[in-house]
Amino acid sequence: MMTRVFFLLTMTALATNAKTPNDDPFLWLEEVDGAKALAWVNQQNAATTGVLTNHPKFKEVYDKTLEILNSKERIAYPSVRGEHVYNFWQDEQYPRGVWRRTPLSDYANENPSWETLVDFSALSEKEGENWSFKGVDVHRPDNDICMVRLSRGGGDAVVSREFDLEKKAFVENGFVLEEAKSDTSWLDRDTLLVGTDFGENSMTASGYPRVVKKWRRGTPLSAAELVFEGERDDVSVRSFVQVAADRKYVVVSRGISFYEGEYHALENGELIKLDLPLDADLNGFFKGHALVQTKSDWTVAGQTVRGGSLVAVAYEPLLEGKHEIDALFTPTARDSLGSVASTENQLIVRVFKGGRHDELFRHAFVDGTWTAEKMVAPELGTLSIISADDDSDRFFLTHESALEPRSLYYSPSIGASMVKMKSLPAFFAAEDYRVELHEAASKDGTMIPYTVVLPKAAKLDGANPALLYGYGGFEISLRPSYSPVMGSTWLANGGVFVTANIRGGGEFGPAWHQAARKENKQRSYDDFIAVSEDLIARGYCSAKTLGVQGGSNGGLLVGVVATQRPDLYEAVVCAIPLLDMMRYNKLLAGASWMAEYGNPDVPEEWAYIRKYSPYQNLAKDGDYPKILFTTSTRDDRVHPGHARKMAAKMEWFGLPFFYYENTEGGHGAGVTTEQRALTDSLERVYLLKMLK
């Protein structure tokens, strides 16, 4: 345990909860790379790994986790561009990954002939950097050049470099953007639309670009021409270019808040603001139509479009402020819009059925008429469109469920049967487990669905070690998924795994999310607590065998329930969390989330935030579970100071905890498979230690 020397300056502030940020004695832990802060981190890491890596199960869990993460039997997920399939792959040979491609005709073979485009381990060694791959922006329709995004240590800020896909090399004297949270789109092969840190107050308070400029090849970035400028308090300004068979669509979006924004079409050098609701999402274009997802009811053109619908809005009339609308999907009480993907001649809409499984629907626009049909696809599980080809009607999708390994299907054309192309092996014996579905009544009577995966031999006697996972924010849905690591290291050790579909998520459309925003955020926590109590009441576990886990907003979730109802939990995995809700909007990207949580600088909003903020509500005499905090030094989205300060405050109060901070990883568990295996194994062994 660290000596108290570091904490002697302003400890009297801890006699009661801090009333202002200046009362916080642990602000120095917000200095990400501060020598004092890193010394504290190193000491905590050593203490935690010293205990958990010596657990009898650690080596077995770590070796199995790393074996799965490096397995050659994993699916190489495809991205179709032209006649090639592109893939990013990591294993023991390529610890930082390799971006590669193979002809589409060869991809179906058991061992495709991959050609390397960028080996990030070799590039890191050559340049003395710890590069992590953050994706590409490919010039369409030629698919011959692209911007490759490189992150130092896995953070969101990237260096962007132009890459020649034919020469398989970075372009000499090509486009290069230095490290920033940048955004690029190809206007043509010699012109980029760029949002980046141009200096001179060009970034929003959230740390994202607030201007978009046109940058021509062969000119300095400083000479780029202004296209659009947002406000300092906006979340971000971005550009989007979609090259379709009928035309090129160029849009600049202004994110006013996380859930509200404007869309401006760039037509003949002029910007035209599209007359769409501020809270609607523009999901691309198809056959001369803008695809718009509504979040609230929209009365337009003599009709009311329900919130949560997908509508096609004729594009040319929209440019003139007119609305010709066709409804493609209208939600029901339990069916919600999942995702939208398009090929050359079909629009593929995924519908989340009752929060339990997916169905696919094909929409087409032929001779001025929309048609729709349910697609023949694998049933009773989670469907995900992995890649859809803009230049043909080819697409790939995956299917999985809690106990069924993920399989990759390929559809070569409209009307063709989907062919199962690849499958994960069964990493654990699914026949030894069962899935059960339940609902729990929340504090206000709302029924909250949850899913339980447990050994068939398990008895409902309250003795099972159970792990409850949740998120509950930003309209993100938790869907059934196959986890080889969870099955092999938790279920195989007698554990029960539970997923709760609490409010704040998107399982039942925008209303399910909006019911737990801002002043109603406590509902997410009430829902999670209700599921916890229901698990105990049904005999799946007891308070002494129940653990919870969540990351990011889910880290806030488990931090809240651990401080509000510590009597319910024996273990808490609090990963990359928000915890100090008084200062979250001043740390990194935090200001962008005020539409979710509220503004703590506004007294009326702080009044409801302070009631659940874990850092402010931690009590010196609280009887809390021994929480495991995990975070990353290089997380430039959720500040590592949240986890650091919460652990330091617990340390000063004499409360037990574990703490582990990975030096890489960004907003995740690590960059390399070894880093991810270590973080995951520490979390799993912690749960085995606390709950078994």
Given the structure tokens 């007359």, which residue do they identify? Answer: 275
Whether residue 1 has pLDDT greater than 80: no
CA distance linking residue 179 with residue 228, whole number of Å: 21
- Segment holding 194, helix H or strand E: strand 191-195
- Express each pLDDT in 551-587 by its tens digit: 999 999 999 999 999 999 999 999 999 999 999 999 9
Question: Higher model confidence: residue 137 or residue 670?
Answer: 137
Whether residue 640 has pLDDT greater than 60: yes
Domain boundaries, the chain: 32-65+430-691, 81-180, 190-273, 332-425
CA-angle at 402, arms to 398 and 404, nearest 5°: 60
For residue 669, what pLDDT band results from cuts at 50, 70 and 90?
A: confident
Whether residue 154 has pLDDT greater than 70: yes
- CATH superfamily of this structure's domain 32-65+430-691: Alpha/Beta hydrolase fold, catalytic domain (3.40.50.1820)
Helices (H), 565-632: 594-597, 603-609, 614-617
Per the structure block, which two tokens stand in for 64?
């199995």
Strands 310-314 and 325-329: antiparallel
Whether residue 638 has pLDDT greater than 60: yes
Whether residue 11 has pLDDT greater than 50: no
Helices (H), 301-376: 315-319
What share of the chain in percent tops pLDDT 90?
A: 94
Per the structure block, which two tokens stand in for 270?
């002029």
For residue 14, what pLDDT band results from cuts at 50, 70 and 90?
A: very low
* pTM summary value: 0.95
Whether residue 12 has pLDDT greater than 50: no
Going along 433-536, which residue ranges are E strands? Answer: 433-441, 447-455, 466-469, 496-500
| HEC profile of 561-592 | HHHHCHHHCCEEEEECCCCCCCCHHHCHHHHH
Beta bridge partners of 151: 132
Rg over CA atoms, the chain: 25
- Amino acid letter for position 469: Y
Closest CA to 577 of 594, 592, 560: 560
Residue 518 burial (10 A CB sphere; 0-12, 13-18, 19+): middle
What was the pLDDT predicted at 20?
A: 52
For the beta carbon of residue 285, count every other beta carbon within 10 angstroms. 21
- Residue pair 241/249 in contact (Cβ under 8 Å)? The answer is yes
Cis check: omega of the bond before 455, within 30 degrees of 0: no
For residue 22, what pLDDT band results from cuts at 50, 70 and 90?
A: low
Per the structure block, which two tokens stand in for 86?
């592109």
For residue 10, what pLDDT band results from cuts at 50, 70 and 90?
A: very low
User: DSSP letter string over 432-457?
Assistant: GEEEEEEEEE-TTS-EEEEEEEEETT
Closest CA to 581 of 552, 624, 545, 610: 610
CA distance linking residue 468 with residue 628, whole number of Å: 15
Closest CA to 628 of 615, 642, 647: 647
What was the pLDDT predicted at 558?
A: 98
Span 430-438, mean pLDDT? 97
Long-range contacts of 325-332 (CB under 8 A, 24+ apart): 325/300, 325/301, 326/289, 326/370, 328/291, 328/363, 328/370, 328/372, 329/361, 330/306, 331/306, 331/307, 331/509
Q: How far is CA 257 from CA 156, 519, 588, in A?
A: 19, 17, 16
CA distance linking residue 55 with residue 75, whole number of Å: 32
- Residue pair 339/328 in contact (Cβ under 8 Å)? The answer is no
For the beta carbon of residue 511, count every other beta carbon within 10 angstroms. 17
For the beta carbon of residue 197, count every other beta carbon within 10 angstroms. 18
- Segment holding 214, helix H or strand E: strand 211-216
Span 164-172, mean pLDDT? 97
CA distance linking residue 565 with residue 293, whole number of Å: 38
- Residue pair 516/468 in contact (Cβ under 8 Å)? The answer is no
Whether residue 402 has pLDDT greater than 70: yes
DSSP summary character for residue 544? T
367 phi-psi bin (left φ>0, alpha ψ -120 to 50, beta other): left
What was the pLDDT predicted at 666?
A: 82
What was the pLDDT predicted at 2?
A: 33
Residues annotated as part of the active site: 552, 667
- Express each pLDDT in 595-616 by its tens digit: 999 999 999 999 999 999 999 9
Dihedral sign from CA coordinates of 565, 566, 570, 571: positive
Going along 68-172, which residue ranges are E strands? Answer: 79-81, 84-89, 98-103, 115-119, 131-138, 145-152, 158-164, 169-170
User: DSSP letter string over 231-298?
Assistant: -TTSSEEEEEEEE-SS-EEEEEEEESSSS-EEEEEEETTEEEE----TT-EEEEEETTEEEEE-SS-E
Closest CA to 553 of 433, 667, 691: 667
For residue 663, what pLDDT band results from cuts at 50, 70 and 90?
A: confident
Question: Higher model confidence: residue 563 or residue 110?
Answer: 563
What was the pLDDT predicted at 6?
A: 30
For residue 23, what pLDDT band results from cuts at 50, 70 and 90?
A: confident
- Mean model confidence pLDDT for the chain: 95
